[in-house]
Amino acid sequence: GQNIDQPTEMTATEGAIVQINCTYQTSGFNGLFWYQQHAGEAPTFLSYNVLDGLEEKGRFSSFLSRSKGYSYLLLKELQMKDSASYLCAAPTAGTALIFGKGTTLSVSS
């Protein structure tokens, strides 16, 4: 089976740094994805990790530890527009993406 856990909600202030954690259990491993989703819109791709370590992409970074079944998304220099849901996801053996429940991030001024 497949199980993906992440916190339900997080809050932060503009300019701060926030880390959203994700733990996963998958039958087989084919990488880990992070998506951002604003209400009423489709998810947009943020990052993909298949090897251990940190991948940095502008204000967003993603980390993976395969041995621990753990990933995190790091958002720096938070902006109001970063208020959204952040979804951790992993492909199944059948290649469909399975999503965690999502973390709703609220950024305040």
Note the residues at the interface with other proteins (CB under 8 A): 33, 40-43, 45, 48, 85, 87, 94-102, 104
**Contact between 55 and 47 (Cβ < 8 Å):** yes
Least Å distance, CB 77 to other proteins, is 25
Q: How far apart are CA 93 and CA 54, in angstroms?
A: 25
Cα(first)–Cα(last) distance of the chain, in Å?
Answer: 41
Q: How far apart are CA 24 and CA 69, in angstroms?
A: 5
Nearest CB to other proteins, comparing residues 70 and 99: 99
Nearest CB to other proteins, comparing residues 18 and 89: 89
Least Å distance, CB 72 to other proteins, is 18
